[in-house]
């Protein structure tokens, strides 16, 4: 009987073990596999560069500038037109000319009655004409140069817009990270408060503490639970802001982002960072190209005082009916025009000079502003890095103090009030530490934005 039971047990084990191993292999993910979708900072930035409305506006401006280049080049080409017209009437001059153009004029048409009171006549006229500017004082070439400079200015402006979109996305992404960390701190504080409440309740029941300890622990637990609720709400709000920065819904949710981590960044001296900004800021380059384009506009306005030479030509066919026979003729010629009283052109030249002065002043003001922005961002980043080091040490000290007071409270050497005070100090130190980590990363991104070097490839150094 015992032998049969043993065999039955072995058979059961042999049947269940493979099924258990198969289920274990299915449940455990392979190394490197992701159990949930992950949204990296680079992915968020790439999505923002594709979907953010600011990027679409910049693309529209760039397309408009490109159209301006094509429009300016059209001035080098002749203007050619084809027209078809129908005219009918008994005007003496019209009837006389129409018959001549249709080549149907006869000797009977010289009679005075026919000349003075002609019968109504129809004239179907097909005209092919063209006009081409041979010389305009190089105005067209200067307009082409100006359009190319404005197109390059639009490219630089679009590059700056992309950097601003990247920074807003980085700020929103990091806001999700800090909100998630703060929620973790609040959750840990809530769990600690519950443990303290249970401990105080046990000590009161054992006669080792007074009822006020349990009440204080209960109030502390309620406060920590409220803080946890607010922290979890902040995570959802930060995620909504990230979706707004990206410009498209992100269905994976806040758990898809990685944890906030402490990082250190290599930063050059403030003078070196300012020099980089003055050399690489796309908005400064855009202003410089606008100024160069305006200088070209001033030269184009001066060229309007030069003589203008145009050529023209036309071929026309006139018929009595649309499909009937008729006559044809052509004309060609050249025209020289000189403005003897160019008052309007002088006013336009002064207007272009005033615009140039305004752009040059804007460029100087922009360079001064950039120097201030870079200096402010540099010292803010340095301060954030040092604050992070101080916050890290303070968090370690607060954790040690809280641990010591918990042990002393267990031994009945201190009151619960002191333990709660230490717990609150530890929670605040953790919150301050993670805030400093967030400030350190975001201030570095702000410095890179101020220097004009914040690109999609640069964000890999932020995560």
Which secondary-structure segment (H or E) carries 14? helix 2-27
Please, what are the domains in the chain?
41-77+137-305+342-462 (1.20.1600.10), 84-135+311-330 (no CATH)
Tokens of 34: 């992701």
Contacts of 454 (CB under 8 A, 6+ apart): 163, 166, 167, 170, 445, 448
Torsion angle, alpha carbons of 185, 187, 192, 195, to 10: -170
**pLDDT < 70 positions in the chain:** 1-37, 409, 416
| CA–CA separation, 236 and 119 (whole Å) | 87
- Report the pLDDT value the prediction gives residue 10, as an integer from 0 to 100: 38
CB 436 within 8 A of CB 393: no
Q: How far is CA 296 from CA 18, 89, 115, 352, in A?
A: 82, 52, 59, 10
| CA–CA separation, 443 and 381 (whole Å) | 5
- Report the pLDDT value the prediction gives residue 294, as an integer from 0 to 100: 95
- Report the pLDDT value the prediction gives residue 213, as an integer from 0 to 100: 76
CB 183 within 8 A of CB 312: no
């Amino acid at each position: 009987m015992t032998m049969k039971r043993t065999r039955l047990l072995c058979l059961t084990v042999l049947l269940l073990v493979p099924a258990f191993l198969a289920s274990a292999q299915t449940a455990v993910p392979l190394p490197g596999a992701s159990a949930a979708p992950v949204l990296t900072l680079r992915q968020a930035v790439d999505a923002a560069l594709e979907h953010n409305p600011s990027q679409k506006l910049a693309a529209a401006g760039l397309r408009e500038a490109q159209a301006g280049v094509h429009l300016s080049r059209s001035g080098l080409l002749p203007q050619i037109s084809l027209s078809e017209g129908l005219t009918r009437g008994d005007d003496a001059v019209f009837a006389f000319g129409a018959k001549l153009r249709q080549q149907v004029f006869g000797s009977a048409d010289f009679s005075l009655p026919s000349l003075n009171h002609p019968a109504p006549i129809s004239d179907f006229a097909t005209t092919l004409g063209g006009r081409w500017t041979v010389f305009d004082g190089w105005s067209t070439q200067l307009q082409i140069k100006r359009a190319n400079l404005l197109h390059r200015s639009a490219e630089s402006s679009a590059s700056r817009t992309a950097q601003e979109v990247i920074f807003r996305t980085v700020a929103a992404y990091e806001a999700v990270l800090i909100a998630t960390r703060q929620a973790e701190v609040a959750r840990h504080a809530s769990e600690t408060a519950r443990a303290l409440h249970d401990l105080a309740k046990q000590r009161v029941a054992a006669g080792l503490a007074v009822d006020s300890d349990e009440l204080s622990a209960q109030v502390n637990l309620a406060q920590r639970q409220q803080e946890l609720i607010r922290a979890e709400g902040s995570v959802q709000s930060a995620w909504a802001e990230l979706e707004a920065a990206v410009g498209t819904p992100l269905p994976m949710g806040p758990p898809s982002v990685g944890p906030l981590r402490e990082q250190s960044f290599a930063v050059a001296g403030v003078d070196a960072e300012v020099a980089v900004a003055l050399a690489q800021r796309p908005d400064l380059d855009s202003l410089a190209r606008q100024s160069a384009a305006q200088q070209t506009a001033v030269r184009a306005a001066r060229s309007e005082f030069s003589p203008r030479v145009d050529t023209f030509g036309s071929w026309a066919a006139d018929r009595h009916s649309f499909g009937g026979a008729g006559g044809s003729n052509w004309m060609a010629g050249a025209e020289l025009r000189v403005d003897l009283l160019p008052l309007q052109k002088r006013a336009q030249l002064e207007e272009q000079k005033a615009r140039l002065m305004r752009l040059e002043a804007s460029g100087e003001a922009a360079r001064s502003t950039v120097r201030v922005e870079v200096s402010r961002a540099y010292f803010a980043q340095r301060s954030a890095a040092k604050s992070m080091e101080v916050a890290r040490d303070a968090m370690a000290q607060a954790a040690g103090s809280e641990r010591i007071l918990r042990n002393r409270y267990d031994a009945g050497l201190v009151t619960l009030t002191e333990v709660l005070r230490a717990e609150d100090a530890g929670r605040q130190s953790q919150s301050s530490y993670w805030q400093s980590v967030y400030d350190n990363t975001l201030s570095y991104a702000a410095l890179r934005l101020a220097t004009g070097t914040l690109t999609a490839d640069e964000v890999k150094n932020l995560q």
